[in-house]
Amino acid sequence: MCSDTAHRLALVYSRAMNFPLIDIGANLGHESFDHDLPEVIQRAVAAGIVHHLVTGTTLAASQKALNLCRQFANLSATAGIHPHEAAHADADTLKGIRALLNNPLVRAVGETGLDFNRDYSPRPDQERVFTEHLLMAVEIGKPVFLHQRDAHSRFYPILKDYRDQLCGGVVHCFTDEKTALYDYLDMDMYIGITGWICDERRGQHLLELVKDIPHDRLLLETDAPYLLPRSLRPKPKTRRNEPAWLTEVLSTVARYTERSPADIAEETTANARRLFGI
């Protein structure tokens, strides 16, 4: 291990201070982890991560997430179709997702929702697949793992139509404004905060909004390998994020809410266990 990497990991472990954390959104099936996933998980454990929710974004990715749960301890999975992939989600694909959701290691339905920022799939397809996931969540009785970007005006009414029948859910990687936050909190949804809050270019508004998230509705996540916290010092040589850096998200949330990292770690871990039945 090079001296720079060793120094950065030493900082991570010192930040962790044995606070148990759950990363509720990590794309550990991503190809960037294929060559060193055991080491990635080992570093996460050393940093205090006691459980990972491995995100499923396609049928193949959801199956891979479940397979990883069978290979490694303290992993659970989600199963779903990301809105970017909605155009490819035919009846057989959705049938495959439904089958995975029956496995007890799969704790949530998703990643699902709407993304009108990039429109990689036509919006009618996104709305169709989002609705299908909500129906599956209602039928199977598992929480939803939700994605929303630049689509609140459509996402909110669709979700609201099903909210009373859902057992719960999290708006993953929340990056929106105060109106959207309060709409989700009014529906008793959980809010996932990622390294976006550590981004001085586009996450500044979250530094204030995070104070408005009730203690029993806050969840922490990395969205690894994406959203490497930009506040890490020294800066890593690679842009790949990994679960060990969840401590940086915790540190930032604690600093701007003026609360104890230990309290936030305890509360968010309890919240994740409650929502996902971990």
Q: In this model, does residue 14 exceed pLDDT 50?
A: no
Position 156 scores a pLDDT of 98
For helices 3-16 and 246-257, the axis angle rounded to 10 degrees is: 50
What letter does residue 224 receive in the DSSP assignment?
A: B
Q: In this model, does residue 10 exceed pLDDT 60?
A: no
pLDDT tens string 27-69 = 999 999 999 999 999 999 999 999 999 999 999 999 999 999 9
Report d(CA 53, CA 105) in Å as an integer: 10
pLDDT tens string 110-119 = 999 999 999 9
CATH topology of domain 3-276: TIM Barrel (3.20.20)
Place 17 in a pLDDT band, splitting at 50, 70 and 90.
low
Q: Residue 76 to residues 52, 82, 127, 158: CA-CA distances in angstroms?
A: 6, 18, 26, 27
Place 16 in a pLDDT band, splitting at 50, 70 and 90.
very low
- Averaged over 177-193, what is the pLDDT? 98
Report d(CA 15, CA 37) in Å as an integer: 22
The two tokens of residue 229 are 């916290």
pLDDT tens string 206-263 = 999 999 999 999 999 999 999 999 999 999 989 999 999 999 999 999 999 999 999 9
The two tokens of residue 120 are 């990689």
Question: What does the radius of gyration of the chain's CA atoms come to, in whole angstroms?
Answer: 18
Report d(CA 203, CA 195) in Å as an integer: 9
Position 18 scores a pLDDT of 66
Q: Residue 138 to residues 133, 159, 230: CA-CA distances in angstroms?
A: 9, 12, 38
- Averaged over 267-276, what is the pLDDT? 98
Contact between residue 102 and residue 91 where contact means Cβ atoms under 8 Å apart: no
**What predicted TM-score, i.e. pTM, was given to this entire model?**
0.93
Q: In this model, does residue 131 exceed pLDDT 70?
A: yes
- Averaged over 4-10, what is the pLDDT? 47
185: Cβ contacts below 8 Å, ≥ 6 apart: 191, 212, 213, 214, 217
Residue of 31, 230, 176, 68 whose CA lies nearest to 193: 176
pLDDT tens string 64-121 = 999 999 999 999 999 999 999 999 999 999 999 999 999 999 999 999 999 999 999 9
H or E segment to which residue 24 belongs: strand 21-26
Position 103 scores a pLDDT of 98
Q: In this model, does residue 177 exceed pLDDT 70?
A: yes
Q: Please give the angle made by the CA atoms of 252, 55 and 75, to the nearest 5 degrees.
A: 85
